[in-house]
């Protein structure tokens, strides 16, 4: 049986829509995430003996017609469509077109949005046959088995579907989250067969790069973060073994000699310090640290000794959520950190010779004019290698979304408004003291003040002179970013 896994076309006339990042959009920097969850499901299906095809229409800038032509040519019996909040209406419309071409195909939607709102998503169109909620690797495999054998799908956990006899919407029990992550295929194996890695880019890292996950879930309680709340769980951090992680590093080095960096996209890679150290020691003992760089999301509680070990093991970039320069705002979003930890983190990273990409937000509970200014001042003081400034973007299934709805701060329930007409990030949440437009304008101003400083420009120029790979990264991201920085912020 043929199974198509599809990241459908969305606003490709404006650029590459990054559906799998934590805040989906066409980014100002040109960043485009891999369709990593589709990739894992693809690998699981291939191991089970199904003929699969993974298509990322956004990466290749296919329009709707081109994408439909590919779907029709492959003629699959099961089609797995990746979705996001901003693209959900477009994705459902696209599914309707698929059904016109292939009326006998079974179409299932996946992603954070339908996981958070499965019944409401199913109501959008009768062309949707099912929703596979949360982690769907094995849900899709069991669904493919059932369809190929003509079996009843009501015994498959993690599904929401419409009963064909009476139209009743049925949600089976949630699927138990995967414990043994080592049994999953490497995402990199799927990339090699199905994707062109040169299509993907992360503005803060060397190019070309590959993104992988070494664990799922997050033990922290940030009220805005969508994947832990909707997809992988916040109770704990489920881990691949150190040997399994390092084996994928070796696979990437052997099969992608052009790759300069590996991005470990776990929500908080350093949540388990013992495993972090074990991975680092293995990378060093095998000499992998001499062959490739890597980056991680790392909480600001990370200590200097571990940073130094990570640097020795080949890590050269940390991504940190500083979020705010106000302790009351940090507390209001359940961030679980304090300002001194953020300052210590940056000082220690500089001692360890690690670059930092800093993340800052405005529009959270307790936000005022003074707290927003404090956030900008903190960003300028920390002076990280790169920084991003975003207004709060609340996604269904998160505490942030419920907070906005409960307090009448959500301006619309039209999910297409979560991005602008040309696909850029948008804000639809007012705060107690600001409109969403004012929050966006502040972020535009903060971005300009940060990146147009003479001190910062000179730092980037010096980096580009010292390192050819760094020069390549800076120029690639700057070509797009500067246009937005000057014209729109």
Residue 471's pLDDT is 57
Output the six-digit token pair for 258.
């052009």
- Evaluate if residue 110 carries a pLDDT over 60: yes
- Evaluate if residue 481 carries a pLDDT over 70: no
Place of tokens 């509970």: 365
- Evaluate if residue 311 carries a pLDDT over 90: yes
- Evaluate if residue 468 carries a pLDDT over 90: no
Residue 478's pLDDT is 58
The average pLDDT across 311-319 equals: 98
Residue 472's pLDDT is 59
Residue 165's pLDDT is 80
Residue 488's pLDDT is 53
The average pLDDT across 14-21 equals: 96
CA angle 323, 329, 333 (to 5 degrees): 75
Share of the chain above pLDDT 90, in %: 89
Strands 2-7 and 51-56, by their bridges, are parallel
Residue 489's pLDDT is 46
Query: Predicted confidence band at 431 (pLDDT cuts at 50, 70, 90)?
Result: confident
Lowest mean pLDDT among 6-10, 448-452, 485-489: 485-489
Q: Domains in the chain, please, with CATH?
A: 2-171 (3.40.50.2300), 202-392+431-453 (3.20.20.70)
Output the six-digit token pair for 430.
């007012």
- Evaluate if residue 484 carries a pLDDT over 90: no
Query: Predicted confidence band at 487 (pLDDT cuts at 50, 70, 90)?
Result: low
Residue 476's pLDDT is 54
Distance from C-alpha of 226 to C-alpha of 83, rounded to nearest angstrom: 14
The average pLDDT across 3-28 equals: 96
Place of tokens 């929703």: 131
Output the six-digit token pair for 197.
């890695």
Q: Between the CA atoms of 363, 416, 103 and 145, what dihedral angle is there, to the nearest 10 degrees?
A: -10
- Evaluate if residue 397 carries a pLDDT over 60: yes
83 Cβ neighbours under 8 A, 6+ residues apart: 19, 91, 109, 110, 111, 113, 114, 121
The residue ranking higher by pLDDT, 165 or 34, is: 34
| Three-class HEC string of the chain | CEEEEEECCCCCCCCCCECCCCCCECCCCCCECCCHHHHHHHHHHHHCCCEEEEEECCCCCCCHHHHHHHHHHHCCCEEEEECCCCCHHHHHHHHHHHHHHCCCCEEEEECHHHHHCHHHHHCCCCCCCEEECCCCHHHHHHHHHHHHHCCCCCCCCCEEEECCCCCCEEECCCCCCCCCHHHCCCHHHHHHHHCCHHHCECCCCCCCEEEECCEECCCCCCCCCHHHHHHHCCCCCEECCHHHHHHHHHHHHHHCCCCCEEEECCCCHHHCHHHHHHHHHHHHHCCHHHCCEEEEECCCCCCHHHHHHHHHCCEEEEEEEEECCCHHHHHHCCCCCCHHHHHHHHHHHHHCCCEEEEEEEECCCCCCHHHHHHHHHHHHHHCCCEEEEEECCCCCCCHHHHHHHHCCCECCCCHHHHECCCCCECCCECCCCCCHHHHHHHHHHHHHHHHCCHHHHHHHHHHHHHCHHHHHHHHHHHHHHHHHHHHCC
Dump pLDDT digits (tens) for 204-228: 999 999 999 999 999 999 999 999 9
The residue ranking higher by pLDDT, 340 or 467, is: 340
- Evaluate if residue 196 carries a pLDDT over 70: yes
The average pLDDT across 434-445 equals: 94
Contacts 24+ apart (CB under 8 A), 431-436: 431/363, 431/364, 431/367, 431/392, 432/367, 432/407, 433/367, 433/368, 433/369, 434/363, 434/367, 434/372, 436/363, 436/391, 436/411
pTM: 0.93
- Evaluate if residue 482 carries a pLDDT over 80: no
Output the six-digit token pair for 348.
């220690």
Query: Predicted confidence band at 335 (pLDDT cuts at 50, 70, 90)?
Result: very high
Distance from C-alpha of 10 to C-alpha of 358, rounded to nearest angstrom: 28
Dump pLDDT digits (tens) for 167-181: 889 999 999 999 999
Q: Please, what is the average pLDDT of the chain?
A: 94
The residue ranking higher by pLDDT, 241 or 235, is: 241
92 Cβ neighbours under 8 A, 6+ residues apart: 109, 121, 124, 125, 127, 128
Dump pLDDT digits (tens) for 244-292: 999 999 999 999 999 999 999 999 999 999 999 999 999 999 999 999 9
């Amino acid at each position: 049986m043929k199974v198509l896994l599809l990241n459908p076309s969305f606003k490709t006339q404006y650029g590459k829509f990054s559906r799998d990042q934590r805040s989906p959009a066409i980014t100002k920097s040109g960043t485009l995430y891999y369709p990593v969850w589709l990739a894992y499901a693809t690998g699981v299906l291939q191991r089970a003996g199904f003929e699969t095809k993974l298509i990322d229409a956004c990466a290749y800038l296919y329009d709707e017609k081109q994408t439909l032509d590919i779907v029709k040519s492959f003629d699959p019996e099961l089609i797995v469509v990746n979705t996001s909040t901003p693209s959900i209406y477009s994705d459902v419309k696209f599914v309707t077109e698929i059904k016109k071409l292939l009326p006998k195909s079974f179409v299932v939607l996946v992603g954070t949005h339908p996981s958070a709102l499965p019944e409401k998503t199913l109501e959008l169109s009768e062309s949707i046959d099912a929703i596979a909620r949360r982690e769907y690797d094995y849900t899709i495999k069991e669904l493919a088995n059932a369809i190929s054998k003509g079996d009843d799908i009501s015994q498959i956990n993690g599904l929401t579907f419409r009963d064909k006899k009476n139209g009743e919407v049925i949600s089976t029990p949630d699927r138990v989250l995967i414990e043994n992550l080592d049994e999953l295929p490497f995402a990199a194996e799927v990339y090699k067969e199905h994707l062109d890695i040169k299509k993907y880019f992360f503005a803060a890292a060397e190019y070309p790069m590959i993104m992988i996950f070494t664990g799922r879930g997050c033990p922290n309680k940030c009220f805005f973060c969508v994947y832990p709340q909707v997809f992988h769980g916040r109770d704990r951090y489920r881990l691949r073994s150190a040997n399994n992680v390092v084996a994928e590093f070796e696979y990437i080095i052997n099969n992608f000699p052009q790759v300069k960096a590996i991005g470990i996209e776990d929500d908080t890679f350093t949540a388990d310090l013992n495993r972090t150290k074990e991975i680092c020691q293995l990378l060093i003992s095998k000499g992998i640290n001499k062959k490739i760089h890597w980056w991680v999301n790392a909480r600001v509680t990370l200590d200097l000794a571990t940073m130094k070990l990570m640097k020795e093991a080949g890590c050269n970039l940390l991504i940190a959520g500083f979020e705010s320069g106000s302790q009351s705002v940090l507390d209001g979003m359940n961030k679980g950190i304090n300002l001194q930890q953020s300052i210590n983190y940056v000082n220690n990273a500089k001692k360890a010779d690690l670059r930092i990409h800093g993340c800052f937000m405005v529009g959270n509970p307790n936000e005022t004019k003074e707290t927003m200014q404090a956030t900008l001042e903190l960003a300028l003081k920390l002076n990280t290698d790169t920084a991003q400034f975003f207004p709060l973007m609340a996604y269904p299934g998160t505490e942030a979304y419920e907070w906005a709805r409960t307090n009448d701060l959500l301006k619309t329930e039209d999910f297409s408004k979560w991005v602008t007409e040309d696909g850029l990030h948008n804000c639809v949440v007012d705060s107690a003291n600001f409109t969403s437009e004012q929050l966006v304008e502040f972020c535009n101003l903060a971005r300009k003040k940060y990146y147009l400083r003479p001190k910062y420009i000179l730092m980037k120029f010096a980096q580009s002179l010292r390192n050819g790979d760094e020069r390549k990264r800076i120029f690639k991201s700057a070509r797009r970013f500067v246009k937005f920085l000057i014209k729109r912020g």
